[in-house]
């Protein structure tokens, strides 16, 4: 199973990492570790988390107010957002269309 992030999701991950790192040295690394752990769980159990739409699901992080928004496209997992859970809900919804998901990932 391939696993990829669309560019917008990668930018969100980078921004959140930088923000946490500026708050306290090492906090960005803890955030990143939690995101990587979520990626591993999603890869193992892609249908285990809360559906947000017919095509997307959200895996919430445990210690940070973020969720990994993803879709399973064939044998691939496509991350469409690293979403702060207390900000604009569903802002990421236009990033994914089941007929034509956006981003750089394997077809």
> What is the CATH number for 9?
3.30.2310.20
Over residues 23-41, the pLDDT tens digits come to: 999 999 999 999 999 999 9
Is residue 36 in some structural domain? yes
pLDDT of 94 strictly over 70? no
Is residue 64 in some structural domain? yes
Asked if 33 and 27 touch (Cβ cutoff 8 Å), the reply is no
First-to-last alpha carbon distance for the chain, in angstroms, is 12
Task: Count CB atoms within 10 A of the CB of residue 101.
Answer: 17
Is residue 103 in some structural domain? no
Is residue 83 in some structural domain? yes
Is residue 19 in some structural domain? yes
Grouping H, G, I as helix, E, B as strand and the rest as coil, residue 101 is coil
pLDDT of 102 strictly over 60? no
pLDDT of residue 1: 77
- Across 1-107, where does the E strand assignment appear? 2-5, 50-51, 56-60, 66-73, 76-84
Is residue 18 in some structural domain? yes
Q: How far apart (Å, rounded) are the C-alpha atoms in residues 96 and 78?
A: 9
Is residue 38 in some structural domain? yes
Domain that holds residue 62: 2-88
Q: What's the whole-model pTM score?
A: 0.82
The total domain count for the chain is: 1
Is residue 106 in some structural domain? no
């Amino acid at each position: 199973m391939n696993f990829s992030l669309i560019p917008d999701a990668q930018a969100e991950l980078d921004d959140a990492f930088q923000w946490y790192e500026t708050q306290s040295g090492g906090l960005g690394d803890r955030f990143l570790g939690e995101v990587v752990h979520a990626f591993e769980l999603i890869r193992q159990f892609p249908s285990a988390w809360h559906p947000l739409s017919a095509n997307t699901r959200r895996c919430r992080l445990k210690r940070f107010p973020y969720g990994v928004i993803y879709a399973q496209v064939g044998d691939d997992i496509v991350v469409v957002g690293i979403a702060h859970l207390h900000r604009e809900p569903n802002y990421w919804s236009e990033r994914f269309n089941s007929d034509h998901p956006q981003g750089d990932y394997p077809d």
